[in-house]
């Protein structure tokens, strides 16, 4: 081929229009749900400087891709309903998305109890058969970890209308929450599942937020040390040696160790890959079921959990959006007495008292002593939906079980008062259980407890001058204090004695 011909060919190719680079974040796809009652950002990438126009219903918005190729335009507030089409044009391309709804969008995150699917939970066939809700939409984020924040959701994540087929591998807690919310609000609901089993809260918190909190900074420092010290070849050689040793000993071969930056247990790696790419998709709020992986660090979790919530809110830029968590279920956790998980539960409750618009679903009646994954997920989702009705939508409903308010010593008895008594207090299935009491020696012993009006009176033989009371203060508490609205009381303590997980001074 002559140089003359190659020259003409190169000139001709140069004259052709550049290949269109217009791309959408994967959240914007067929069957998506957009958030109602708030301006709607639409975003993606394109050739730097390209002008992008987005059209939805009667609204149109235009913007330009920046020097890095990122673009975002904002549609005006839209009312619930649909389906409609969303059109994006520019950079030599036109993209049309079909079957787009407007309603309520919720992030559903945490570890394995949030990831636990319908088919893994109680009554899977019955629940699958009833899961025909075309205006309830499901989006499951692919499991990815990253040492740096990512901008895009993996393209193999997609929206699906809720059907018996699509729901079986979706989060059971998220589904039941979304179903109840959809039926109660009578609007479309979109659920974005971004959860990974066995992961700690520090993995879901940004590096900036961890670094800004002195007591949490060590997570970032340790992660950076691990990255700097990682040698892939040495790790591969060690793994090969470990496999040979395991075979020789007749044991199961170990897993190949993951590089620190791809580990879902490292600081910020899940925030980077499974939260940051969702920004700034407009949402109504978030539900969160996590804590097991931080179960031995209840004292630290007070700071870590509130830091994570504030971090998400700051990054989303939507103010103090509702954040609803699930308190840890009763579980043996190596020792039924504990009380490590009791301390973690208290840390979860603590967040509801120090941050606005934070709610907690209590599930002390649902746990399984020897299974960290309780099969009954429907009441978990139902209680989260109640909290959403109250906190996110201002509905006058009883959304909490009894919440400890104050104590008063009267002779050899302690009188406990509660908020959220609803229609009144009740003991389910017999006399009250799960109360302990102590005197000046601060040694807790089992106590007798009875309901008197809207209070609980606690005492124990041999305790003439009671000092403090605890309720459900075990890894696996057996408790039965409810309100007559069917919601259980959260475990609590009236003392502020040093915690088992609290660092020594």
110 Cα distance to chain centroid: 4
Q: What's the sign of the alpha-carbon dihedral 372, 376, 378, 384? A: negative
Q: Residue 20: what pLDDT?
A: 55
Q: Is residue 54 within 8 Å of residue 85, measured between CB atoms?
A: no
Q: How far apart are CA 240 and CA 210, in angstroms?
A: 35
The mean pLDDT value for 437-448 works out to 98
Q: How far apart are CA 179 and CA 188, in angstroms?
A: 10
- Any idea what DSSP says for residue 64? E
User: In which residue are the tokens 């309100």 written?
Assistant: 483
Model pTM score = 0.93
Q: How far apart are CA 476 and CA 474, in angstroms?
A: 5
Alpha helices in 355-482 (DSSP H): 378-391
Give 361's contacts (C-beta < 8 A, 6+ positions apart). 324, 325, 326, 327, 380, 383, 384, 386, 387
94-118 pLDDT tens trace: 999 999 999 999 999 999 999 999 9
Q: Which residues of 123-148 are buried (b: 16+ CB within 10 A; e: fewer)?
A: ebeebbeebebebbbbbbbebbbbbe
pLDDT of residue 12 exceeding 80, the answer is: no
Domain boundaries, the chain: 403-493
278-316 pLDDT tens trace: 999 999 999 999 999 999 999 999 999 999 999 999 999
108-164 pLDDT tens trace: 999 999 999 999 999 999 999 999 999 999 999 999 999 999 999 988 889 999 999
The mean pLDDT value for 464-481 works out to 98
pLDDT of residue 11 exceeding 60, the answer is: no
* ∠ CA 493-340-450, rounded to 5°: 30
Q: What's the sign of the alpha-carbon dihedral 434, 339, 365, 494? A: positive
Q: Where are the beta strands (DSSP E) in 46-180?
A: 51-56, 59-64, 70-75, 81-90, 93-110, 133-140, 159-162
* ∠ CA 291-293-294, rounded to 5°: 65
- Any idea what DSSP says for residue 490? P
- Any idea what DSSP says for residue 276? G
* ∠ CA 477-483-484, rounded to 5°: 130
Q: Is residue 491 within 8 Å of residue 480, measured between CB atoms?
A: no
* ∠ CA 456-459-460, rounded to 5°: 150
The helix (run of H) or strand (run of E) holding residue 456 is strand 455-459
pLDDT of residue 231 exceeding 70, the answer is: yes
pLDDT of residue 5 exceeding 70, the answer is: no
Q: Facing residues of 56 across strands?
A: 59, 86
User: In which residue are the tokens 């017999």 written?
Assistant: 430
Biggest CA–CA distance in the chain, Å, is: 107
């Amino acid at each position: 081929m002559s140089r003359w011909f190659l020259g003409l060919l190169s000139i001709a190719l140069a004259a052709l229009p550049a290949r269109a680079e217009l791309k959408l974040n994967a959240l914007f796809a067929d069957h998506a749900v957009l958030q109602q009652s708030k301006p709607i950002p639409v975003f993606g990438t394109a050739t730097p400087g390209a002008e992008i126009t987005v059209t939805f219903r009667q609204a149109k918005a235009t913007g330009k891709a920046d020097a890095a190729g990122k673009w975002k335009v904002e549609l005006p507030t839209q009312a619930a309903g649909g389906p409609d089409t969303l059109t994006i044009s520019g950079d030599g391309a036109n993209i049309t998305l079909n079957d787009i709804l407007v309603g309520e969008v919720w992030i559903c995150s945490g570890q394995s109890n949030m990831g636990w699917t319908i088919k893994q939970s109680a009554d899977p066939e019955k629940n699958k058969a009833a899961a025909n809700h075309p205006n309830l939409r499901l989006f499951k984020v692919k499991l990815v970890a990253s040492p740096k924040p990512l901008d895009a959701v993996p393209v193999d994540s997609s929206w699906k209308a809720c059907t018996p087929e699509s729901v079986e591998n979706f989060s059971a807690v998220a589904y039941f929450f979304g179903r109840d919310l959809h039926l109660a609000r009578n609007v479309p609901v979109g659920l974005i599942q971004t959860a990974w089993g066995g992961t700690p809260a520090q993995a879901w918190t940004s590096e900036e937020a961890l670094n800004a909190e002195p007591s949490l900074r060590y997570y970032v420092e340790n992660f950076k040390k691990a990255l700097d010290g990682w040698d892939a070849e040495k790790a591969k050689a060690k793994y090969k040696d470990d496999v040979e040793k395991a075979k020789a000993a007749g044991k199961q071969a170990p897993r190949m160790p993951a590089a620190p930056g791809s580990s879902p247990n490292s600081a910020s790696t899940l925030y980077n890959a499974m939260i940051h790419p969702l920004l700034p998709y407009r949402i109504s709020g978030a539900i969160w079921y996590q804590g097991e992986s931080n179960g031995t660090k209840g004292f630290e979790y007070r700071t870590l959990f509130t830091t994570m919530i504030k971090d998400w809110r700051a990054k989303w830029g939507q103010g103090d959006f509702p954040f609803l968590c699930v308190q840890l279920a009763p579980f043996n956790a190596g020792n039924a007495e504990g009380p490590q998980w009791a301390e973690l539960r208290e840390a979860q409750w603590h967040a509801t008292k120090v941050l606005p618009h934070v709610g907690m679903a209590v599930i002390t009646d649902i746990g399984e002593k020897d299974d960290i994954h309780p099969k009954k997920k429907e009441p978990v989702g139902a209680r989260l939906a109640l909290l959403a009705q109250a906190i996110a939508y201002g509905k006058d409903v009883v959304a909490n079980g009894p919440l400890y308010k104050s104590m008063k010593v009267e002779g050899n008895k302690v009188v406990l008062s509660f908020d959220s008594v609803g229609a009144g207090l009740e003991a389910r299935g017999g006399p009250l259980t799960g109360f302990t009491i102590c005197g000046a020696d601060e040694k807790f012993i089992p106590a007798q407890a009875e309901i008197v009006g809207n209070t609980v009176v606690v005492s124990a033989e041999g305790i003439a001058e009671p000092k403090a009371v605890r309720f459900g203060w075990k890894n696996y508490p057996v408790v039965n204090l409810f309100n007559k609205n069917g919601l259980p009381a959260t475990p609590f303590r009236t003392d502020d004695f040093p915690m088992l997980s609290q660092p020594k001074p």
